Chain A
Amino acid sequence: MDNILSVQGLSKHFKGFSLTDVSFSLPKGYIMGFIGPNGAGKTTTIKLMLNMLRRDAGSVSMLGMDSVVRETDIKQRLGVVMDQAFYVGEWRLTDVEKALKPFYTKWSGDTYANLLKRFDLDKAKKVKDLSRGMKMKLMIAAALSHQAELLILDEPTSGLDAVVRDELMDILLDFISDENKGVLFSTHITADLEKIADYITFISGGRVLMSDLKDDLMEKYLDVRGGLGTLNAEQRNALIGYKEHSVGFEGLVEKEKLALLPKDVVVQPCTLDELVIRFNLEGKKHDA
Chain B
Amino acid sequence: MDIIISNLAGVPIYQQIKEQVKAAIIAGTVQEGEMLPSVRQLARDLQVSVITTTRAYSDLEQEGFVVNMQGKGCFVKPPDADFIREQTLKEMEGNFLSAIQAGRLIALGDDDIRGMLDILLKEEENG
A contact set with B: CB distance below 8 Å: 29-31, 166, 169-170, 173-174, 176-177, 179, 195-199, 213-215, 219, 268-269
Q: Which residue from A173, A177, A198 sits with its C-beta under 8 Å from B47?
A: A173
Q: Which residues of A contact B48 (CB under 8 A)?
A: 195-196
Known: A176-B50, A177-B44. 8 other contacts (CB 8 A): A30-B49, A170-B44, A179-B40, A196-B48, A198-B50, A199-B51, A214-B49, A215-B51
Q: Could you list 5 A-B pairs, sorted by A, with CB under 8 Å?
A: A30-B49, A169-B47, A174-B44, A177-B40, A196-B47
Give the A-B pair count, Cβ closer than 8 A. Answer: 45
Q: How far apart sit A241 and B24, CA to CA, in the bound complex (Å)?
A: 43
Q: How far apart sit A268 and B40, CA to CA, in the bound complex (Å)?
A: 29
B contact set with A: CB distance below 8 Å: 10, 12, 14, 40-41, 43-44, 47-52, 55
- Nearest-neighbour CB distance to chain A for B89, whole angstroms, equals 27
Q: Which residues of A contact B55 (CB under 8 A)?
A: 215
- Closest residue on chain A to residue B41 by CB atoms: A177
CB pair A215 B14 closer than 8 Å: yes
Q: Which residues of A contact B51 (CB under 8 A)?
A: 30, 198-199, 213-215
The prevalent SS among residues of A at the interface is mixed
- Nearest-neighbour CB distance to chain B for A30, whole angstroms, equals 6
The prevalent SS among residues of B at the interface is helix
Q: Which residues of A contact B41 (CB under 8 A)?
A: 177
Q: How far apart sit A177 and B47, CA to CA, in the bound complex (Å)?
A: 12
- Nearest-neighbour CB distance to chain B for A224, whole angstroms, equals 15
- Closest residue on chain B to residue A216 by CB atoms: B51
Q: Which residues of A contact B47 (CB under 8 A)?
A: 166, 169-170, 173, 195-196
CB pair B40 A176 closer than 8 Å: yes
CB pair B12 A196 closer than 8 Å: no
Q: How far apart sit A120 and B40, CA to CA, in the bound complex (Å)?
A: 25
Known: A173-B44, A176-B40. A31 touches B50 (CB 8 A): yes
Q: Which residues of B contact A176 (CB under 8 A)?
A: 40, 50
CB pair B49 A215 closer than 8 Å: yes
Q: How far apart sit A17 and B44, CA to CA, in the bound complex (Å)?
A: 39
- Nearest-neighbour CB distance to chain A for B50, whole angstroms, equals 6
Q: Which residues of A contact B10 (CB under 8 A)?
A: 268-269
Known: A176-B40, A177-B44, A179-B40. A29 touches B50 (CB 8 A): yes
Q: How far apart sit A195 and B51, CA to CA, in the bound complex (Å)?
A: 11
